[in-house]
Amino acid sequence: MSGLPHSAHALVTGGGRGIGRAIAAALTGAGATVTVLGRNAAVLDEAVNAGAAQFAEVADVSDEAALKAAIAKAAARQPIDILIANAGRAESAPFAKSDDALFARMMDVNFMGVVHAVRAVLPEMRDRPHGRIVAVASTAGLKGYSYVSAYSAAKHAVIGLVRSLALELATSGVTVNAVCPGFTDTDLVAGSIDNIMKKTGRSREQAIAELAKHNPQGRLVSPGEVANAVLWLCGEGAGAITGQAIAVAGGEI
């Protein structure tokens, strides 16, 4: 695997747990200085204390002013070379019960959270010789799933943004890509498992199997597998990879 630029500074939104924390740990292990950002200071501090990152900033990605201020603090320590726009939220409901507020929540975090983060880092990143932007989208951004129309729409929007922005930045040295995990063994999916159990009366094992059946390998993806794909995209050897939406899903896509 091609290495990261020397002393790169990476910012990971939603970096305190799940896929974000796994990505932060992988980047730290590859030699980057990593700042994790999220809403829960205690969770972020635990990630730092565990060695997954060096610094933490508290902000909600749906609050552009707060996010911009937090990213400015991180960039003042060291300019940001790598942005991992990972923060996300999932809610499920039939379309007939998905009101405007649900669509707004899904768009605010999953899509506008990416927009806000990119806006905050891009002006300075464009002036540097190496820049990497990776959005953590979802297989829901590449296909549909029942009962998550709002979430799926937001993730499709992320991929459209990635593809368009990659073309705008093609000659700048900044690459823009998305990774699209299938159902992954995280707190977010644990919530879906609990929801299946509550609504259907199935056991935990049956609920996990209901999600794992989407993966031809018959299992949940691990956060570390997603992190490995992100780490590759951030490496110096991936400079020709841009505008891509890479599924990490056991062959589902």
Q: Supply the residues annotated as catalytic.
A: 151
Output phi, psi for 203, to 5 deg. Answer: -75, 165
Based on C-alpha coordinates, what's the Rg of the chain? 17
Output phi, psi for 16, to 5 deg. Answer: -85, -20
| CB 63, CB 38: distance < 8 Å | no
Distance CA 66, CA 21 (A): 21
Output phi, psi for 119, to 5 deg. Answer: -55, -40
Distance CA 192, CA 87 (A): 17
CA 57 to chain CA centroid, nearest Å: 16
Closest CA to 53 of 96, 22, 86, 75: 22
